[in-house]
Amino acid sequence: MKRILSLFNFILIAQTLSCATVNVKDHSTIKATNQDDFLAKKALFKIIWGTDLQFQLSEMPLEGESSFIPYSASYLPFVKGGLGARASNGDLSTVEKYDLAFNSEPIAASWEKIYHNGKDSKWWEGHCDGWVAAATRHQEPQNPVIQNGITFTAEDIKNLLSEVYLNRSYAFLAGDRCHGNGEERYFSSRSTRNRLSGCGDTNPGDFHIALANWIGDKRHPFNMDIWNDITVENFPVYKYIVREQRELDKKAALSIIDPKGENSLGSAIFSPTTTGFHYFETEVFYINYTDKGSFLSTILNENPEHYARSVLYKYVVEINALGEIVGGEWVTSGGEELKNYYFPDFLWISGELFPSSSALGANPHIQPAEVMSLYERSIPADKIIEIPQIRIPTYDEKTTMMEEINALEKEEDLAN
């Protein structure tokens, strides 16, 4: 269980967003209107962008698109050998090439075979968090690069980026990890409005704030696990369009959220500061991994590298007397809309790449500096795209900024 408006998590060295394992803290005791929660959101955004995070619903754009489209790549599933998988024509795997070019013996390939293999792995376990972390920070590798007589294709370089980006800083924008089967009722296990069941996942308030501020305002993509069950499938989100928005009264909001009357909380379902409600249908666009296969929705756009897909989310957001978003609920009208992909698990951004691949599951025999050199050489000088290189603030930086914002807001309150 977790808070309605989840507190941002900053550098989490001991945790990982891996497709294989995710360990996220339980925030069930934090209330929706906890001031530190709002301050933490504002601090992260302020430090990174230098501007204030927008909570005012009326000021949020109804659509947005990032300044660049993240590239598609394989998530290098462990069941297929991860980075050690050979091409169908028998060509050397990416990790075998790396050993020949940079190592005096096959140490990286041996490590990959032991730790990133298909033994006891689930179909969804692999390098998806490494891929999306790299794809939201770098443009797509383009040209082959020769290193010590070994040719690395653009695909090889993407694979290596996915490997080393398993080891990087990151911050959550919203949500939590679901460890259940994703089929429990949305309202089950909820004793108060300030708590969600473990598979309630990202609150729609957080979700809408992230879309409007990160993509709508700053035109920067973020990563999202679109499932709310135990599987972890991260995808880069780069665009959204609000297809429908309408204002609701309390009775109408409750009838949409819980049309069958299965929630026993009654009027207590909403945040204590809520004074208004808005219904949304928002289409969210993301890039799928390169491997073909059945998925949620129809392919909207396809070329050799970019696979764009979308999913429509339906939800109600709650606003306070100032018109600021303070929470929300997903629409659960039964039937298909109860399937887990209608509730995003968590949203996050990737920070800087760590200089060593010795932690968080990355292959320790593949060096980030060498991979970045291959990447930079693959991009022609006249094709370079300027992409903001986000640095995740430290705990002390975040705390200091929260104190400054809190002091300023108290001064403004006194002045008013």
pLDDT digits 0-9 by tens, 159-205: 999 999 988 888 888 875 555 544 443 444 433 444 444 445 678 88
pLDDT of res. 116: 81
Going from N- to C-terminal start, the domains of the chain cover 1-416
Least confident of 30-39, 141-150, 355-364: 30-39
The answer to whether 404 and 412 are in contact (CB under 8 A) is no
Give the residue-averaged pLDDT of 291-298.
Answer: 37
Q: Is the dihedral of CA 58, 43, 329, 249 positive or negative?
A: negative
CA torsion, ordered 284, 286, 291, 294, to nearest 10 deg: 0
The answer to whether 3 and 33 are in contact (CB under 8 A) is no
pLDDT of res. 283: 92
- Reported as half-sphere exposure (CB side, CA atoms, 13 A), residue 188 has a value of 9
Band the pLDDT of 406: cuts 50, 70, 90.
confident
Question: Which amino acid does the sequence have at 323?
Answer: G
Round to whole Å and give the CA distance between 99 and 115: 16
Give the residue-averaged pLDDT of 52-80.
Answer: 90
Band the pLDDT of 310: cuts 50, 70, 90.
confident
- pLDDT of 209 over the 90 cut: yes
The structure tokens 């666009």 sit at 285
Mutual angle of helices 154-164 and 128-135, in 10-degree steps: 110
Strand partners, 58: none
Round to whole Å and give the CA distance between 7 and 3: 8
- If one counts every other C-beta atom within 10 angstroms of the C-beta of residue 35, the result is 11
Band the pLDDT of 281: cuts 50, 70, 90.
very high
Give the residue-averaged pLDDT of 6-22.
Answer: 41
Band the pLDDT of 261: cuts 50, 70, 90.
low
The more confident residue out of 304 and 112 is: 112
Least confident of 20-24, 27-31, 108-112, 269-273: 27-31
Nearby residues of 366 by Cβ (< 8 Å), 6 or more positions away: 95, 98, 108, 160, 163, 164, 357
Round to whole Å and give the CA distance between 281 and 313: 6
Round to whole Å and give the CA distance between 398 and 9: 10
- Reported as half-sphere exposure (CB side, CA atoms, 13 A), residue 23 has a value of 5
